[in-house]
């Protein structure tokens, strides 16, 4: 019992530099405070209080250990079991900074067997799917482009996702209609002027063809471009009559293809609507199969893919605007200096048409150059040569300066890969393949970067050492 009392009465250690109070100057505890403390202890643990009283009696009978002062009457004597500790100051919690997510190790057998087989299987499935895969890819790209607008409208407007999808598509069609309405007035004016000047243009073209034919005859090259006593329109009409049967068959095939294209467009529209409606569920499903990130937006794979496609759209719109503006300005300058007189009148229409055609990669610039070259050909063959040289120069500027600079920054992809993707897409699916090649390439790039940061291949060095 002396040992227990000694441990109870031992004063707490003093801090460094604090002096021990002198003997006899130690303050006595107020009786009222002692009584309050004793009552609290009795309420907390009656058994501990009785034990403390017994220990106190034993200490008084034994005289206490040498060098230990006895407690005065009424003092608070506490046992270790009921000792009340002072409140501990809790330091404010420090935000824990999580490190990078732990990488998933890809076993060697997966690298050697499963991965090549999976790539071959995907390639065969893509070849077997053919047009069906193309339709789903186009619908997916459209859904990725429009999904940010749908999500923002749903969040700010607090409306169901289906209504947000409907509103976005209605807004899209309204914007397209507005652009057509804004361009309709100047384009219609220029078309009316072209129709008004068409007889004069035909006469000038016919005179140019006759002069060109005469110069060929003088040079010993006998080519009959226009028959004797016939105008250019009569010669063209005769050629059309001779090839009327082939034209009818070609028109029949074109109508069949157009009907099939309309069905495909409607199917793409329906699939894109469903993809937008179920986009959150699709994103959750993709997250389950991809390696886990740290939970931040920078590690959210579906969000990274959507941002990559949005960057492609922004780069493509900027590219089309630059090229359309450049072509229209160049044609207007040609009209001012007299190289292409219709350029002063039709610069807006030709520039707008080229800007729209630039949305179709690979063949869009060629299609955009056809109308001004035809008009120049009707005006003067020499003028057509000048306009053709102009568009060849614009295409060189586009392919070597403008496009690499824009898409290398927006897609963060090497220009060589951009050219390869366009050629590869055009080879597989034609014009539509070239159209979706760059957004798919951007998605593949984000996928490769994400997997590189979350997967690590198991080393082959250990197995090689064991074999040796």
Question: What is the full DSSP assignment across 229-261?
Answer: T--HHHHHHHHHHHTHHHHHHHHHHHHHHHHHH
Q: Which residues pair with 106 in a beta bridge?
A: 457
Residue 159: how many CA atoms within 13 Å on its side-chain side? 15
DSSP 91: P
Per residue in 402-411, pLDDT (tens digit) is: 887 888 888 8
Mean pLDDT of 199-226: 71
pLDDT the model gives residue 214: 77
Choice among 213-217, 237-241, 294-298 with the minimum mean pLDDT: 237-241
Determine how many CB atoms are found less than 10 A away from the CB of residue 184: 11
Spatial contact of 226 and 206, defined as CB atoms under 8 Å apart = yes
Phi-psi region at 26: left, alpha or beta (left = phi > 0; alpha = psi -120 to 50): beta
pLDDT at 83 > cutoff 80: no
pLDDT digits (tens, 9 = 90+) for 220-238: 776 665 555 555 556 666 6
Res 51 pLDDT > 50: no
The band of 119, judged by pLDDT with boundaries at 50, 70 and 90, is confident
Q: Is the pLDDT of residue 56 over 60?
A: no
Radius of gyration of the chain (CA): 43
Look at 264 and 215; give whichever has higher pLDDT.
264
Residue whose structure tokens are 């080229």: 354
The pLDDT, as a whole number, for residue 27 is: 45
Label residue 85 exposed, middle or buried (CB < 10 Å: 0-12, 13-18, 19+): exposed
- Binned at pLDDT 50, 70 and 90, residue 176 comes out as confident
Rounded percentage of the chain residues whose pLDDT exceeds 90: 15
Q: Is the pLDDT of residue 22 over 50?
A: no
> Measured between alpha carbons, how far is residue 431 from residues 103, 105, 319, 361, 407 in Å?
40, 40, 18, 8, 19
How far apart are the C-alpha atoms of 61 and 43, rounded to whole Å? 27
Which residue ranges make up each domain of the chain? 132-223+252-457
- Most confident range (mean pLDDT) of 12-21, 191-200, 204-213, 386-395 is 386-395
Contact residues for 271 (Cβ-Cβ < 8 A; gap 6+) = 135, 136, 139
Q: What is the pTM of this model?
A: 0.61
For 358, other C-beta atoms within 10 Å of its C-beta total: 24
What's the confidence (pLDDT) of residue 368? Answer: 85
Please calculate the CA angle 396-397-399 and round it to the nearest 5 degrees.
Answer: 65
pLDDT band at 217 (very low <50, low <70, confident <90, very high): confident
The model's confidence at residue 277, banded by pLDDT at 50, 70 and 90, is: very high
User: Which range is most confident: 15-19, 155-159, 444-448?
Assistant: 444-448
Question: Which pLDDT value is given to residue 96?
Answer: 44
- Report the pLDDT value the prediction gives residue 443, as an integer from 0 to 100: 92
pLDDT at 167: 92
Average pLDDT score, the chain? 74
Confidence label for 166 from pLDDT (cuts 50, 70 and 90)? very high
Tell me what the mean pLDDT of segment 129-136 comes to: 87
Average pLDDT over residues 322-348: 89
Structure token pair of residue 332? 């207007």
pLDDT at 89: 47
Choice among 104-113, 141-150, 326-335 with the minimum mean pLDDT: 104-113
168, pLDDT greater than 60: yes
Q: What is the pLDDT of residue 331?
A: 92
Q: Let me know: does 439 contact 312? Beta carbons within 8 Å.
A: yes
The beta-carbon contacts of 18-24 under 8 Å, at least 24 apart in sequence, are: none
Q: Which residue has the higher pLDDT, 154 or 15?
A: 154
Q: Residue 274's pLDDT band (boundaries 50, 70, 90)?
A: very high
């Amino acid at each position: 019992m002396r040992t227990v009392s000694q441990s109870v009465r031992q004063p707490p250690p003093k801090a460094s530099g604090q002096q021990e109070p002198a003997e006899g100057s130690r303050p006595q505890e107020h009786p009222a405070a002692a009584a309050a403390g004793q009552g609290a202890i009795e309420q907390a643990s009656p058994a501990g209080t009785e034990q403390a009283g017994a220990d106190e009696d034993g200490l008084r009978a034994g005289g206490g250990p040498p060098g230990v002062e006895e407690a005065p009457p009424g003092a608070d004597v506490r046992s270790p079991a009921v000792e009340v500790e002072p409140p501990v100051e809790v330091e404010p919690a420090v935000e824990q900074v999580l490190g990078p997510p732990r990488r998933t190790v890809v076993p060697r057998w997966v690298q050697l067997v499963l991965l090549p087989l999976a790539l071959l299987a995907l390639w065969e499935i893509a070849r077997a799917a053919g047009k069906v895969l193309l339709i789903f890819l186009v619908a997916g790209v459209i859904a990725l482009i429009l999904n940010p607008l749908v999500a923002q409208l749903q969040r700010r407007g607090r409306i169901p996702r289906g209504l947000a999808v409907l509103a976005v598509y209605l807004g899209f069609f309204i914007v397209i209609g507005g652009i057509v309405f804004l361009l309709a007035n100047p384009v219609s004016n220029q078309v009316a002027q072209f129709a008004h000047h068409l007889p004069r243009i035909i006469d000038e073209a016919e005179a140019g063809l006759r002069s060109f034919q005469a110069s060929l005859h003088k040079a010993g090259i006998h080519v009959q471009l226009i028959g004797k006593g016939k105008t250019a329109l009569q010669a063209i009409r005769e050629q059309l009559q001779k090839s009327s049967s082939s034209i009818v068959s070609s028109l029949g095939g074109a109508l069949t293809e157009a009907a099939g294209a309309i069905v495909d467009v409607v199917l793409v529209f329906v699939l894109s609507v469903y993809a937008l409606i179920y986009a959150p569920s699709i994103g959750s499903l993709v997250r389950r199969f991809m390696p886990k990130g740290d939970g931040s937006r920078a590690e959210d794979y579906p969000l990274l893919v959507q941002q990559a496609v949005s960057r492609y759209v922004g780069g493509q719109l900027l590219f089309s605007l630059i090229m359309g503006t450049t072509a229209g300005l160049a044609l207007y300058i040609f009209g001012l200096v007299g190289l292409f007189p219709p350029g002063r009148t039709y610069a807006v229409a030709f520039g707008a048409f080229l800007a729209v055609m630039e949305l179709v990669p690979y063949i869009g610039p060629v299609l955009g150059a056809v109308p001004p070259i035809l008009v120049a050909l009707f005006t003067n063959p020499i003028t057509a040569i000048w306009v053709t040289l102009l568009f060849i120069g614009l295409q060189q500027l586009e392919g070597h300066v403008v496009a690499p600079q824009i898409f290398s920054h927006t897609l963060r992809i090497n220009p060589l890969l951009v050219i390869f993707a366009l050629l590869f897409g055009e080879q597989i699916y034609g014009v539509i393949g070239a159209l979706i090649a760059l957004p798919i390439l951007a998605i593949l790039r984000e996928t490769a970067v994400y997997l590189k940061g979350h997967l690590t291949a198991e080393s082959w060095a250990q197995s090689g050492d064991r074999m040796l």
